[in-house]
A and B are shown apart, each in its own frame.
Chain A
Amino acid sequence: MKKVAVGTFLVLFCGGLALAGLGQEKPSILEIYHWWTSGSEKAAIEAAIDVFLSKYPDVTVIQSPVAGGGGITMRQVIHTLMLAGEAPDSFQSYPFGLVPYWQAGMLQPIDEVWTEEVRANIPDVVEDMCKMPDGHYYAVPLGIQQAGVVFYNKHVFEKYGLQEPRTWEEFWQICETLKANGVDAIALGDRNAWPLTYIFRTLVAAEGIEYYEAFINGQITAPNDAGLLDALNKLNRMLDYVNSDHAALTWDQAVALVAKGEAAMNIMGECAVGELLIAGLDYPEDFDVFFLPGTEDIYGVSLDVFCLPKGAKHPETALKWLKVLVTPEAQAAFAAPKGFIPARTDAVLGPEFSDYQRASMERFKSVKYYRPGMWSGTPPAFMTQLTDIIADKIGLQRNPAAAAAAIAELQASTEWPITWDLGPKG
């Protein structure tokens, strides 16, 4: 027994060291971190990498996918790595998530990537989200998805003779009709807390673009602010029409309710489209979209970006990566599988793009105002606490006044490094 044990131990120990020794540095490496780990999102990032490799075939791309979206997990990893001096060559982030690194002087400006040609073909709002307050560029966009869309099951609407609402009275009327017929009007899956706050964020936008601008600039500091209370009251009211087990479902299970016709509407970003398509629904025959009254001429921009940290081991390769990402080919290649739209307006929407994506692109080009999604446009610490406040004070306690007080206080006590200007085509 002992001999076996010692023998095995030696073998495994050496094996461990050998494996540890493997992975010696090869020339031309690119190390990136992202959170597109599975399914269509994985197909998307692989497509972008393929475009990169077609231009630079001798580079080895080492991906480190980190599941969990732009939330805590990735931040935890990147913070630790930056503090330990092991920053990757590039990593994915929400635009505002880069602000702490910029403030600490840990990002490299990449103005050279943003050439005249690039700037001419990327909308201003996206450009602004890639800049820091010092006016330099620090990030490149990869895939825009629309935020704050109301997806609905066409067949359910038809069954009860419902039309897309144009006013709030019409919206509540729809909810009442559905409830009277025993159907959940709105599908919600907030086991992970953020989907409820997601609706709130859209409601803030419904208060108008100036209000939204004031909100993401941290100016809503009065607990009895009319717009704030209005948004919170609407959110609270929506909870009367939501599936009863919402606190046990994840966001995709909620979208599934709409797909199955067990609920009518779902307020989500365009990741919902992926789930609906997987379920076999077609746009616009089986599902369609509308926008909450007040947001019809606003496009919510949810942006993912890549950046260049200082201390990256292969900065030249990283710059090549970033330059490739802003080309129309890479943008189109990435956007197609995932249901995003390309950040470049001159990108060609080939046949792989779904009808929905084309519609979204049209809207993107024709709308009057753009708003950064809140995770893209406000400090992560603010968003974390906002999510907690909504989950507790509205989700659990159903108390809009308490929520308003807490949010106003949060607005006042947060630091706001960036001031947004969302004027027309801003």
Chain B
Amino acid sequence: MRRVRPTRILVYLFLLAVSGWILLPLWSGVVTALKSSQEVVLSTPLTPPARPTLEPLKEALDYLKRPLLNSLVLVGAGTMVSCFFGSILGYLFSKYRFRGSNLLFLLVVICLYIPPQVQLIPMTQFVSKVGLYGKLGALVLLYMFFGIPMCTFVFKTLYEEIPESYIKAAQVDGAGIWTIYRRVILPLSVIPFVIAALLQVTIIWNDYLWGLVLTRGMDNMPVTVALANLKGSFVGAWNLQMAGSIWVALPTLVIFIFLGKYIVRGYAGL
């Protein structure tokens, strides 16, 4: 139990105030999602609906059914695989120094700052040559690979907190690289995994550019493309888009709640 003692009331008040700040912008979104098209035009985003309707929610869900499924697959496969590789690579970088490991790690981190537009055209050409164009598989592979630098960085940084003594002890027992990973590192990976997964889920779920260019047809659309479509090009279908964004936020929120449970004392295992 922490012995720190700010006035408990103040703490709660502050946390509640912050919650208010977080929730405030969402008010307009929720309110708009419940308006009919006519009301959207005749009222402002601030005012609650005079005649709330669930129509936009129904219509949006109908449009989003398949894209939601697509994005879940993308997020699942992309997160799992990049976290898997990121974890192993992070382990190697953090516990084994070899010639050029610093430089190599730096190269990996720099990948995070390469603007995606740079890769747009050559990546599309590559995907086309490999014959994967237009199918969801192209995105799956892309997210797997593009997530590796980020995950490697997160895992490496957090694995560094694991004391060297643990590794040395295992080596004394005759454990090799892989065994050390399985016995020592993996059990301590819950928190790094949560941090990396939260990030990967958000990045993949929110990606618009690759989903737009690399998939074709409404069966393959990820959810962000579908969400942008709901707004319309020359119509102001805000209620549909806001309703859609509620549906789109739900799966990520569920994942976040599930992952958040692991950020509790004791799971670091130290």
A and B touch in the complex (CB under 8 A): yes
A interface residues with partner B (beta carbon < 8 Å): 1-2, 5, 8-9, 12-13, 15-17, 19-23, 31, 35-42, 62-69, 73, 76-77, 80-81, 83-86, 88, 250, 252-253, 255-256, 259-260, 271, 274-275, 278-280
In the A-B complex, the 10 residue pairs with the smallest Cβ-Cβ separation, listed nearest first, are A20-B137, A252-B236, A38-B232, A12-B76, A37-B229, A9-B80, A16-B77, A84-B124, A39-B235, A16-B140
* Minimum Cβ distance to chain B for residue A300 (Å): 16
Given A86-B128, A275-B41, A65 and B219 contact (CB-CB distance below 8 Å): no
Count of B interface residues, CB-CB < 8 Å: 51
Give which listed residue, A5, A66, A88, A278, contacts B212 with CB less than 8 A. Answer: A66
Question: How many A-B residue pairs lie within 8 Å, measured between CB atoms?
Answer: 163
Q: For residue B187, which residues in chain A have a CB less than 8 angstroms away from its CB?
A: 1
* Minimum Cβ distance to chain B for residue A90 (Å): 13
- Whether B235 lies near A38 (C-beta < 8 A) is yes
- A15, closest chain B residue (CB): B73
- B37, closest chain A residue (CB): A278
- Whether B135 lies near A20 (C-beta < 8 A) is yes
- Whether B217 lies near A31 (C-beta < 8 A) is yes
- Whether A256 lies near B235 (C-beta < 8 A) is no
Instruction: Decide if B196 is an interface residue (CB 8 Å cutoff).
Output: no
CA–CA, A67 and B219, complex, Å: 16
Instruction: Give a binary string over B125-149; 1 marks a CB under 8 Å from any A CB, 0 the rest.
Output: 1011000111111101000000000
Q: For residue A62, which residues in chain B have a CB less than 8 angstroms away from its CB?
A: 216-219
Q: For residue A76, which residues in chain B have a CB less than 8 angstroms away from its CB?
A: 120, 213
Instruction: Decide if B228 is an interface residue (CB 8 Å cutoff).
Output: yes
B interface residues with partner A (beta carbon < 8 Å): 37-38, 40-42, 70, 73-74, 76-77, 80-81, 84, 120-121, 124-125, 127-128, 132-138, 140, 182, 186-187, 190, 212-213, 215-221, 228-237, 240
Please give 10 more A-B residue pairs, beta carbons under 8 A apart, in addition to A21-B137, A65-B218, A275-B236. A16-B140, A19-B140, A23-B220, A36-B234, A39-B237, A41-B234, A84-B125, A84-B127, A86-B134, A275-B41
- B77, closest chain A residue (CB): A16
* Minimum Cβ distance to chain B for residue A6 (Å): 8
* Minimum Cβ distance to chain A for residue B206 (Å): 16
- B227, closest chain A residue (CB): A67
- Whether B217 lies near A260 (C-beta < 8 A) is no
- Whether B124 lies near A38 (C-beta < 8 A) is no
Q: For residue A2, which residues in chain B have a CB less than 8 angstroms away from its CB?
A: 182, 186
- Whether A259 lies near B233 (C-beta < 8 A) is no
Given A12-B73, A83-B124, A252 and B136 contact (CB-CB distance below 8 Å): no
- A69, closest chain B residue (CB): B233
Given A13-B80, A15-B77, A271-B235, A64 and B216 contact (CB-CB distance below 8 Å): yes
CA–CA, A17 and B140, complex, Å: 8
Given A12-B77, A80-B120, A84-B121, A41 and B232 contact (CB-CB distance below 8 Å): yes
